Amino acid sequence: MSSHDQKIMFVFPGQGSQYVGMGGDLIRDFPTARRLYEHANDIVGYDLLKLGLEGPEEDLKLTRHTQPALLTHSLICFELFRELTDNRVQPVLTAGHSLGEYCALVAAGALDFETALRLVQKRGECMGTYGQGEMLAFPLHLDNVRPLAEKHCCAVAACNLPDQTVVGGRGEDLDRLTEEAHAHFPRKRPTRLKTEGAFHTFYMIAAALHYRPVLDAAPMTAPTVRVLSNYTGTHHEPEPAAIKTRLFFQLFHPVNWIGNLDTAFHDEITAIVEFGGGLGSGPAPEDKRPNLESMIKKAQRGSDFSIHYHAAINTQTLRETAEALQA
């Protein structure tokens, strides 16, 4: 089915999708990728490409490095896809998980590459410097987790699926929460996330306040296609001031990803393309799988419609998806 017959959404993953070796295939196969990486290096003031290719992993995992590295990789994948399709495959909707929302705004024409990269560099620095706490992912519904979390001074950080809720808080508070949750739901064990803080909770308020002046000053225009807001779960309003307000609140409020997906399903999306990053134990880019695919497919279960999912996260998947959507 060609892109002309479909309503396509472009999606972009968030922190946790980065890996050492990211971008190696792209610079080997596409001159545009090397040019954009060199431009990114000039913007951030260090060798972002080398960090992504060689690590060390401990440095790449630092929030101040992860966010610019992943945004750059995701947007290079997006730009290469446009190149491979002569920009003929257009979305009707864009969305991103946490950090990925900035990529979604670039794809929708609201931000340019340089502005987005400078923003997430500052965002990552503020989150790493001023943020506190840790995070746990519970395989439980929001209604089961939130009362227990609040009892122990923790907060919901993300609603990814009906049965997947992320919580943030101090380590000792999360330990007490885990103990009580186990008593209520003994078969539902949480997973500790490797983050530098309790992202998207009140532990990020100081980071958000330091970040806001840079966000307020950033040039932004009205998007040319609709973009989903993590803060509301629905479409962004077109006014740049309103978008910036929601990006500010996004830092210390839960990512309403399930709300984003519900909105996309209501918009009758028929195809999704995911750009950048990757998950999987294999070291090479071609060993990776898209980060958001499993969540989106789980959210779709039980529905009476189907969505075609495409990855655009490495050379192989970029070429396959470009060909499939132009057939």
Q: Enumerate the active-site residues.
A: 98, 200
* Spatial strand order in the sheet of 191-193: 155-161, 164-169, 134-138, 191-193
d(CA 79, CA 86): 10
Supply 89's token pair: 């495959």
Tell how strand 308-312 and strand 271-275 pair up: parallel
d(CA 56, CA 154): 32
Q: Which amino acid is at 132?
A: Q
| Cα atoms in the 13 Å half-sphere on the side-chain side of 245 | 8
Supply 162's token pair: 């009906």
d(CA 66, CA 84): 27
Alpha helices in the chain (DSSP H): 24-29, 31-44, 48-54, 57-60, 63-84, 100-107, 113-130, 142-151, 171-184, 205-217, 240-250, 257-266, 293-300, 315-324
Question: Which secondary structure element, helix H or strand E, spans residue 305, and what is its range?
Answer: none
- 216-228 as b/e, with b when 16 or more CB fall inside 10 Å? eebebeebebbbb
